[in-house]
């Protein structure tokens, strides 16, 4: 029988954090622990209790599972100074909670004599796991759900950074909405995002010309919002033979951003590491996997990946 109990521990700054430990039956316990890292401000439960469901499945496989609140969130002590969510997300995307994650690994290591870890999480939890894994050999694998490859900021005009995939999807969505009175009401009462609409119309009516290769080299990409920490952390893992599984949602912009801002740029290098990482997409699913059938697909894919590489 598995055992579940509350935990308190301190991070590197002495701030008290709270979590839940899921301990499998001793007869099937694996020597690898899984940490479920909080997604954004949704804390250790995650949207629609997703982490509770993940923990239940993972414990059945024999993994000790630990999910906890980062400082300033949930039951944890500490403060969040950012007034805007986008700024908080931006700080997470550059490693705000890496220290908390390593403190959690240390607690599990001391409690269970475990030195091997898999990190998993949705969105902010996924990028926190990737950044934590960089240079830390204790982390043998990463399960990232809807991992962001961009940087957020309240001062950033997101309409400037729409990917081709997102442009096409939004264009089709707006076409369907033309027959909706509610859409026209939003449009005429100034509730729509006019910058996004204008950029889509401009792209469709006046497609940008392909710049010469030498011009691209000189100009660079000054307007790019890609997280500069993403690629180095990713390749640090796969270069050392560690395993990565990314699961995206088909209706999520993060899927398009991953393809346009990471895969296209590193296509040749990624081919060299195909045995070490896998990427799947759940069609029609939204970012938080709110439907039970989407959650089931994610759990089945995660289980298959774990059984292939860590059993």
The tens digit of pLDDT for each residue in 114-142 reads 999 999 999 999 999 999 999 999 999 99
Pair (51, 185) in one structural domain: no
Residue 247 predicted with pLDDT over 70: yes
Range of the structural domain that residue 22 is part of: 3-154+226-309
Pair (149, 264) in one structural domain: yes
CA distance 176 to 183: 10
Pair (238, 211) in one structural domain: no
Task: Work out how many domains the chain is built from and give that number.
Answer: 2
Pair (143, 247) in one structural domain: yes
The tens digit of pLDDT for each residue in 75-118 reads 999 999 888 999 999 999 999 999 999 999 999 999 999 999 99
Pair (200, 62) in one structural domain: no
Pair (14, 78) in one structural domain: yes
- Determine the pLDDT at residue 220: 39
Q: Maximum CA pair distance of the chain?
A: 65
Pair (242, 131) in one structural domain: yes
Pair (253, 240) in one structural domain: yes
Instruction: Single out the residue in 167, 188, 219 at which a domain terminates.
Output: 219
Gyration radius of the chain's alpha carbons: 21
Residue 257 token pair? 């951003």
The tens digit of pLDDT for each residue in 165-190 reads 655 665 566 566 666 776 566 657 76
- Determine the pLDDT at residue 212: 44
Instruction: Single out the residue in 201, 219, 237 at which a domain terminates.
Output: 219
| Ramachandran angles phi, psi of 160, nearest 5° | -70, -20
User: pTM for this one?
Assistant: 0.82
CA distance 156 to 151: 9
Question: Is 152 or 14 the better-scoring residue by pLDDT?
Answer: 14
Residue 301 predicted with pLDDT over 60: yes
Pair (72, 206) in one structural domain: no
Distances (CA, A) of 228 to 152, 163, 224: 12, 17, 10
Q: Residue 149 is part of a domain; what is its CATH number?
A: 3.40.50.1820
The tens digit of pLDDT for each residue in 207-217 reads 655 544 443 33
Contact by Cβ (8 Å): 221, 160 = no
Pair (29, 131) in one structural domain: yes
Contact by Cβ (8 Å): 161, 149 = no
The mean pLDDT of the chain is 87
- Determine the pLDDT at residue 127: 98
CA distance 46 to 59: 17
Pair (140, 173) in one structural domain: no
Pair (172, 36) in one structural domain: no
- Determine the pLDDT at residue 219: 38
- Determine the pLDDT at residue 166: 59
Instruction: Single out the residue in 177, 199, 219 at which a domain terminates.
Output: 219
b/e map 25-58, b = 16+ CB within 10 Å: eeeebbebbbbbbbbbebbbbbbbebbbbbbebb
Region 285-308 average pLDDT: 97
Residue 60 predicted with pLDDT over 90: yes
Q: What is the DSSP string of 58-102?
A: HHHTT--EEEEPPTTSTT--S----SSHHHHHHHHHTTTTHHHHH
User: Contacts for 51-58 with beta carbons within 8 Å, 24 or more apart?
Assistant: 53/295, 53/299, 54/120, 54/299, 54/302, 55/20, 55/22, 56/22, 57/299, 57/302, 57/303, 58/22, 58/34, 58/306
Percentages helix, strand, coil for the chain (3-state, rounded to 5) are 45, 15, 40
């Amino acid at each position: 029988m598995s055992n579940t109990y509350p935990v308190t521990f301190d991070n590197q700054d002495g701030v008290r954090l709270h979590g839940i430990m899921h301990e499998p039956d001793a007869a099937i316990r694996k020597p690898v622990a899984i940490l479920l890292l909080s997604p954004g401000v949704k804390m250790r439960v995650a949207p629609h209790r997703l982490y509770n469901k993940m923990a239940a499945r993972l414990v059945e496989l024999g993994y000790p599972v630990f999910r906890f609140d980062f400082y300033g969130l949930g039951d944890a002590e500490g403060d969040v100074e950012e007034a805007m969510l986008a700024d908080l997300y931006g700080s997470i995307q550059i490693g705000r909670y890496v220290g908390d994650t390593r403190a959690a690994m240390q607690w599990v290591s001391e409690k269970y004599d475990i030195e091997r870890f898999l990190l998993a999480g949705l969105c902010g939890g996924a990028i926190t796991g990737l950044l934590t894994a960089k240079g830390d050999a204790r982390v043998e694998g990463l399960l990232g759900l809807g991992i962001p490859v961009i940087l957020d900021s309240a001062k950033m005009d997101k309409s400037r950074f729409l990917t081709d995939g997102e442009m096409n999807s939004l264009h089709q969505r707006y076409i369907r909405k033309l027959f909706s009175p509610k859409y026209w009401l939003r449009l005429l009462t100034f509730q729509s995002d006019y910058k996004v609409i204008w950029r889509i119309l401009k792209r469709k009516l006046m497609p940008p010309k392909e710049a010469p290769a030498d011009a691209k080299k000189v100009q660079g990409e000054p307007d790019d919002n890609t997280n500069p920490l993403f690629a180095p952390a990713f390749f640090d893992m796969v270069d050392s033979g560690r395993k990565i599984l990314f699961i995206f949602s088909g209706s999520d912009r993060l899927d398009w951003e991953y393809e346009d801002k990471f895969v296209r740029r590193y296509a040749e290098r990624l081919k060299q590491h195909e045995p070490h990482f896998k990427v799947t997409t759940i069609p029609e699913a939204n970012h938080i996997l709110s439907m039970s059938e989407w959650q089931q697909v994610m759990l089945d894919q995660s289980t298959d990946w774990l059984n292939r590489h860590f059993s």
